[in-house]
Amino acid sequence: MPTIETKEGPLWRKRTTLKQWLIWGGWLIGLCIAVYAWQLISEKTIWMFVWDAPRQMSDIGERMVPPDWSYMPKLWRPVWDTLNIATIGTAIAMCLAVPIAFLAAHNTTPHKSVRAVMLFIIVATRSVNSLIWALLLVVIVGPGVLAGTIAIGIRSIGGCAKLIYESIEEIDPKQVEAIKATGGSRAQQMVYGILPQVLPTIAGVGVFRWDINVRGSTILGIVGAGGIGIQLSASINVLAWTQVTTILIVILGTVFVSEYISAKVRGAII
């Protein structure tokens, strides 16, 4: 932050001239890379298909309407399965995520090595997509709702535990100090000093994750892990586009409702 002396008094600029030019240079290099990348993509694209896209889209669009409402009765059960996968999966994930978070946060972990193991669990469960977990679990426990539930559960542990342990690390330490000063044990310090401070986060994370999982579980059926995705992939396979429309509308409705519920619940907690 240089101050430049001039005849009319000191002049202040945020950056030196050199720094400013470097920043502009950086933008220029970025632009060149973008143009080059665009060219590469353009060379590898079969443009005939792209020019054809609007016609194909209107073609599918035409075949997708009107939605086949007679298919509805067959969808209630899969929707119910989908919601169960999301709900039970989230519940399992939260039961595991809370203790993992306490073991991972640097102010509550019993030892650095425990923290390292927990952070590894968090990263490992987070890095693999739930569809891939489901793919593996369908092989292990067989196709169906169970595979989907476990897949959603495992996938959610990392995300939930990460948010919770970060909030544990950000608590107000004075409240814990006060509990410590009364002669409270470590367990009591957690229950009185820490838990009340992170409880809103835990609840919020749970509801938020459930909301994500409702969306996530609609697709699991594509690999045979239960839920409405099974119907979706079956209808696409037989090119029953009007049924596909119905299913998409149902998924939209489900997600809409779940989002409404989670917004309401979060509003009530915080």
Partner 1 sequence: MLRLENLSKRYKTGDLALNNVTLEIPDGQLVALIGPSGAGKSTLIRCVNRLVDATTGTIHLGDREITGLSNKELRRARRRMGMIFQEYALVERLTLMENVLSGRLGYVNFWQSLFRKYPKENVREAYRLLDRVDLMHMVDKRADELSGGQRQRVGICRALIQDPELLLVDEPTASLDPKTSRQIMRLIRELCEERKLAAIINIHDVALAQMFSERVVGLKLGEIVYDGAPEGLTPEVLTEIYGEEDWEKTIEKVDDEDDMPNDGEMA
Among 28, 37, 114, 191, interactor with partner 1 by CB under 8 A: 191
Among 52, 170, 177, 259, interactor with partner 1 by CB under 8 A: 177
Query: Could you say whether residue 99 binds partner 1 (CB under 8 A)?
Result: no
Closer residue to partner 1 in complex, CB, 201/217:
201
Residue-by-residue DSSP string for the chain: --EEEETTEEEE-SS-HHHHHHHHHHHHHHHHHHHHHHHHHHHHS-HHHHHHHHHHHHHHHHHH-S--GGGGGGTHHHHHHHHHHHHHHHHHHHHHHHHHHHHHSTTT-S-HHHHHHHHHHHHHHHHS-HHHHHHHHHHHH-SSHHHHHHHHHHHHHHHHHHHHHHHHHTS-HHHHHHHHHTT--HHHIIIIIIHHHHHHHHHHHHHHHHHHHHHHHTTGGGGTSSSTHHHHHHHHHTT-HHHHHHHHHHHHHHHHHHHHHHHHHHHHH-
Shortest Cβ distance from residue 197 to partner 1 (Å)?
7
Q: How many residues bind partner 1 (CB under 8 A)?
A: 21
Closer residue to partner 1 in complex, CB, 88/205:
205
Shortest Cβ distance from residue 182 to partner 1 (Å)?
5
Interface with partner 1 in residues 195-224 (CB under 8 A): 196-197, 199-200
Helices 195-217 + 76-104 axis angle, to 10: 150
Q: Which stretch binds partner 1 (CB under 8 A): 15-23, 158-166, 176-184, 262-270?
A: 176-184
Shortest Cβ distance from residue 30 to partner 1 (Å)?
43
Shortest Cβ distance from residue 179 to partner 1 (Å)?
6
Query: Could you say whether residue 107 binds partner 1 (CB under 8 A)?
Result: no
Among 75, 88, 179, 225, interactor with partner 1 by CB under 8 A: 179
Query: Could you say whether residue 175 binds partner 1 (CB under 8 A)?
Result: yes
Write the interaction track for partner 1 spanning residues 153-172; mark x where CB under 8 A is met and - where it is not.
-------------------x
* Contact footprint for partner 1 (CB under 8 A): 172, 174-175, 177-185, 187-188, 191-193, 196-197, 199-200
